Structures are given as C-alpha cells and as structure tokens.
Amino acid sequence: MIYLELPPNVANMQKMANGLAKSMFRPISRKYDKAEHTPPKELDALKSMLGGGGGGMGGLGGGGKDKEAKPGVKNGGNMIAIAAMTEMCWGDAGLALAIPGQGLGNAAIMAAGTPEQKEKFGKCWAAMAITEPGTGSDAGNIKTTAKKDGDDYIINGEKIYITAGGRASHVVVWANIDPTKGKAGIKSFVVPKDLPGVELVRLEKKMGIRASDTAAITFTNVRVPKDNLLGSEEIKDKKEGFGGVMQTFDNTRPPVAAMSLGVSRASLDLTKELLAKEGVVLEYQKSRWTNDALRAEIEWMESEWESAYLLTMRAAWMADNGQPNSKEASMCKAKAGRVGNYIVLRCVELTRNLGYSEVHLLEKWARDQKILDIFEGTQQIQQLIVARQVLGKSSKELR
C-alpha cells in the first residue's frame, strides 16, 4: 500500500514553513534581491528558532519516528527538510539559503562526521567548499591538498562558488590527503574561517539568489587538527574514500530539488492568479485534449511538477529509512531542475509584460531558478549518475 498523504509531523512543519515564507520571506524578497551582499538582518531571529546548525539545507528537520505515522515508516528529518524547503523557497530561495546556521556544510557534517564531530561542529554555521577553478562538475579533479604534519593537516588551495561562504563561521573543505591515490585520497575537513591563512577573496555578483552570498576563498598553509577531518583518515579504496565523501550529495540533492519545486510552484500559483483575473480559470474536469491550449499547458505543467515532487519525497523517504538513494537523489534533482526551468520561463511568457517586468516576482524567480538546475551537480551530471546506476557501469566505463 502506498500512502501519499504527509504524516502529521511533516505536514505540521510544512504549514509552519509556509507561514514563514508568507510573513517573512515574501515581504523582503525584492529588497534583498536589489541589495546583494547585504545580510538579511530579519533572519537573525530564525537561528535560535531552528536550533542553529545541524540539519543544513533548511534545518527544519526533526528525525525520529512519528507515533501517528503508518507502521514501518520512520518519516524523519529528510522528509521534513524537503517539505520545509519547498515552502520556504516558495517564499524566496535566496533567503532560504541565507538563514544563519543552515549551511551545506552542516549537511556534510551530519552525513560524514563521527558522533564526536557532530557534537562538536553540529551547531556551527558551515558552508561547503568543493568547486575549484578548473574542476567544473568533476569533484574528483580536486587540486586542493591537505598534507599531514604531526597531529595536524596543512591545507593549501582555492575554492570558488561557496554558498554562504562570506557569512558562515566554518567551511567544510574538500581536499586530497594523498594525490598519488587519486579520488580515494579526497577527504573533507571542517575549517574555522578565523584560522590563519583563510582569506575571503571576493563575493560573487550573481544573476539570482542574491540574498545568499557566494564566496571565493583561498587556503594558504592553513593548519587544522586531524580531528577536523570528517570520518576516517584511512585511505582504503576509491569507493570507501571518495565514495564516502560523495554520499553527502545523497543528502543535499533532494533539498535542492525541493528548492526548485518551491520556486516553480510559486510561479505557477502567481500565473494562475493573474490569469484568473482575466477570466482564465482552470477546468480540471475537462480532458487535456478537449481543453483550450492555455489551460491544457498549465495542467500539464502541474502534472510535471507533481511527478518531480513525488520523486523528491521518495528520495527523502529512502534516506530516512536507511536505504541507498544515490540514483533516486540524482533522479529527483534532474527532474525538478528541468521541470523548474521550463515552468518559470513559461510562466514569464504566459504573463507577458507582467512576467518580464518587476511588477511581480516572476522575473526574479526565473533568475533564481537557473542555479537550482546547476549547483549540487548539473542536469548532465545527474543523468550520467543515473545512467551508470541503471546500466551498472563505472565512472571509467561511462563518462
């Protein structure tokens, strides 16, 4: 039996996040779109409400088993994070990424850290530093190094496109502890930004999600304790080394899919509202083939949105229930990104001058949406991951 209704704990958090989006995010959305790199002070109060760090990518997760849920279903933090992130990005995706204490690095700490590391770093605000000049989508081509020196590691390298890198207190840095081992030597380190040798080079000016700062940071002879290496420092093989680090994406790709779901649903909601004012109201009782073209297309976009939503919830449910979800995480990220791109741009077209001008937020959502199909792995990378899993091919066999 498949239950498509959200369990009470997830539905309650979804309702709370929607209220937050309506009352706090929407009213200041345009303000911080225009005031790029200005910290949204209105969000400071959310840190204590959401419990600081720990969850990452929305942070509204709870975990544990809902006593009102269906038998055998845990319905933990991942499903809650998806429901919450969708609603918050319905309000504003950039502001959702700018909530203090809710960084991508927090998700990495919770995915790869030891119990002691989760306790030590769980409440910090951690950004995640993966991308480098020249690495593109190939995370295995990382050039940043971490050389063992006694009880410390010395990190050298340059990272770019670090979400919340300017405001976060810590950065989870991907570096290679033994370049001769290739991908197997890649590990992640929790690096406090106030350490000597950590330099914030610049904040990027961006097309969208302007409320969220995106930083470039250099690391020059940065000394960190070996205990800041997430997980084990032992190098076994590529699957257990680099593969273990890559498991972070299985936790963060569904929330990025949820971000796309939030932005695209906001676009659909406003488009239907504007069309209704012109007398165009959806008639769901009619077949798509007997409906007019405009109504039929909106209904088709809604069905595509629903399929992306269900894929995303499935990936989150699998994570909550301890099931490997790498393929499903990539599937929902690819589907939501592609569907989101189409929906927001088509909504701009359908609403004509109201969609293209700054009268409404549609043009902003079109700019915000594009990055949601790119970061955490591009559309092409997701399709490649899915193809490898379906065909049983390795990264060497299918590139």
- The set of catalytic residues is 376
User: What does the alpha-carbon distance between residue 53 and residue 381 come to, in Å, rounded to a whole number?
Assistant: 29
State the Rg of the chain over Cα. 21
Asked if 224 and 152 count as a contact pair (C-beta separation under 8 A), the reply is yes
Residue 231 corresponds to which amino acid?
G
- 3-class SS string, the chain: CCCCCCCHHHHHHHHHHHHHHHHHHHHHHHHHHHCCCCCCHHHCCHHHHCCCCCCCCCCCCCCCCCCCCCCCCCCCHHHHHHHHHHHHHHHCHHHHHCCCCCCHHHHHHHHHCCHHHHHHHCCCCEEEECCCCCCCCCHHHCCCEEEEECCEEEEEEEEEEEECCCCCCEEEEEEECCHHHHHHHEEEEEEECCCCCEEEEEECCCCCCCCCCEEEEEEEEEEEEHHHECCCCCCCCCCCCHHHHHHHHHHHHHHHHHHHHHHHHHHHHHHHHHHHHCCCCCCCCCCCCCCCHHHHHHHHHHHHHHHHHHHHHHHHHHHHCCCCCHHHHHHHHHHHHHHHHHHHHHHHHHCCHHHHCCCCCHHHHHHHHHHHCCCCCCHHHHHHHHHHHHHCCCCCCCC
Cross-strand pairs, 146: 155
Q: Are 43 and 27 in contact (CB under 8 A)?
A: no
